[in-house]
Amino acid sequence: MFDFKKKGWFSGIAQVLKKPAIDESMWEELLDCLILADVGLSTSEKLIQEIKSERPTSSEEVRSALRKKMVDLLSVDRARKEGFPQVAVMVGVNGSGKTTTCAKLAYKFKQEGKKVILTCADTFRAGAGEQLKSWGDKLDIRTISQRPGGDPGAVVFDALKSAQEKSYDVTIIDTAGRLHTKFNLMEELKKINRVTEKEAPQAQKEILLILDATTGQNGLSQARHFTQALGVSGIILTKLDSSAKGGIVLSIVSELKTPLLYVGVGERTEDLLPFDPQSFASAIL
Ligand SMILES: Nc1nc2c(ncn2[C@@H]2O[C@H](COP(=O)(O)OP(=O)(O)OP(=O)(O)O)[C@@H](O)[C@H]2O)c(=O)[nH]1
Ligand SMILES: [Mg+2]
């Protein structure tokens, strides 16, 4: 299990809350701690304002209010996330960890006894198909790909047909990394979505945005474009094991109003953890 507490992202808060008096300087120090942990200015200010308005009378009350606010904030839109996706399309910028996360998710579903198929709709980068296939081989999971330069929509079509004919439970679709500013590439993702809508209308679908936690606040504006253009249903935050600061999860969910479903904490297939707001908040505070 990944130890959120060990990272010490919010250890400053514990120090501030050791002080007996609740005064203006304490609120300022708390705000600084949140910003330093990469919570982002507007989310940090919002959290502090809300807690302040409850007029806590002890540092313990401040701590429990902060914990509760964090859980509320992180719990956005999670109710409909029951069950498992039958079709998952992974989107995001270059190098964010899409292909690795495809393998991690495939491994997880396979562990749960589901029949999984991996699909490489990244026909852009030479070697993308081989990269996904080598994960598939390692996990003994069927992988569908096409030669570079092919039509990603066609690969997805083939994969969904095959999944239906052979009764696969989950189809995981990898796509090419792209910047949200590349109009044609964004249109290509929309086309992939249209193919999944058409070929698997009944399936529970997820469009998952794979975000690299180390890009911090800068990654957020890119992410916003993806969520707006594609109707992203969930986020997977990768590389939380590296130099990233955990507060980023709060700014992501607060800014994008999209639930954070998993975090990536390493390069191995087992390094994907379901994200649970309650355990996160309890671990860090
Ligand atoms: N430390 C760490 N590294 C990760 C994690 N997830 C992915 N990586 C690494 O990030 C690098 C890029 O991962 P890929 O899965 O190839 O990223 P991608 O989004 O598919 O990249 P493109 O297809 O080129 O856009 C690889 O070196 C991965 O091992 C993670 O959770 N932690
Ligand atoms: Mg890739």
Q: Residues 242-280: pLDDT tens digits? A: 888 889 999 999 999 999 999 999 999 999 999 999 989
Whether 239 lines ligand 1, by a CB cut-off of 6 Å, is yes
What is the per-residue burial (b if ≥16 Cβ within 10 Å, else e) of 158-173? ebbeebeeeebbbbbb
Whether 180 lines ligand 1, by a CB cut-off of 6 Å, is no
Mutate to test the pocket of ligand 1, among 91, 98, 99, 100 (most ligand atoms within 8 A of CB): 100
Task: Order the strands of the 260-264 sheet from edge to edge.
Answer: 142-144, 116-121, 170-175, 87-91, 205-212, 234-238, 260-264, 272-274
Whether 104 lines ligand 1, by a CB cut-off of 6 Å, is no
For residue 191, give every residue at least 6 positions away whose Cβ sits within 8 Å of its Cβ, in sequence order, or none. 152, 153
Which fold, 81-284? Answer: Rossmann fold (3.40.50)
Structure tokens at 105: 């998710």
How far is ligand 2, taken at its centre, from the CA of residue 49, in Å?
41
Q: Which residue has the higher pLDDT, 80 or 240?
A: 240
Phi, psi torsion values for 152, nearest 5 degrees: -60, -35
Q: What pLDDT score was predicted for residue 80? A: 63
Ligand nearest to the CA of 237: 1
Is residue 5 predicted with pLDDT exceeding 90? no
pTM, to two decimals: 0.94
Phi, psi torsion values for 201, nearest 5 degrees: -60, -30
Whether 175 lines ligand 1, by a CB cut-off of 6 Å, is no
Whether 97 lines ligand 1, by a CB cut-off of 6 Å, is yes
Domain residues of the chain, as ranges? 11-74, 81-284
Query: Do the beta carbons of residue 206 and residue 85 sit within 8 Å?
Result: yes
187-199: average pLDDT: 95
Number of DSSP helices (H) and strands (E) in the chain, helices first:
11, 8
Query: Do the beta carbons of residue 155 and residue 191 sit within 8 Å?
Result: no
Among the residue ranges 106-110, 138-142, 211-215, 218-222, the one predicted with the least confidence is 218-222
- CATH of 11-74 given 1.20.1630.10, 3.40.640.10, 1.20.120.140, 3.40.50.1820: 1.20.120.140
Neighbours of ion ligand 2 (CB under 5 A): 98-99
Mean pLDDT of the chain: 92
Whether 98 lines ligand 1, by a CB cut-off of 6 Å, is yes
Structure tokens at 187: 């249109």
How far is ligand 1, taken at its centre, from the CA of residue 95, in Å?
5
CA 178 – CA 183 distance, rounded (Å): 10
Q: Which residue has the higher pLDDT, 28 or 77?
A: 28
Q: Residues 148-157: pLDDT tens digits? A: 888 999 999 9
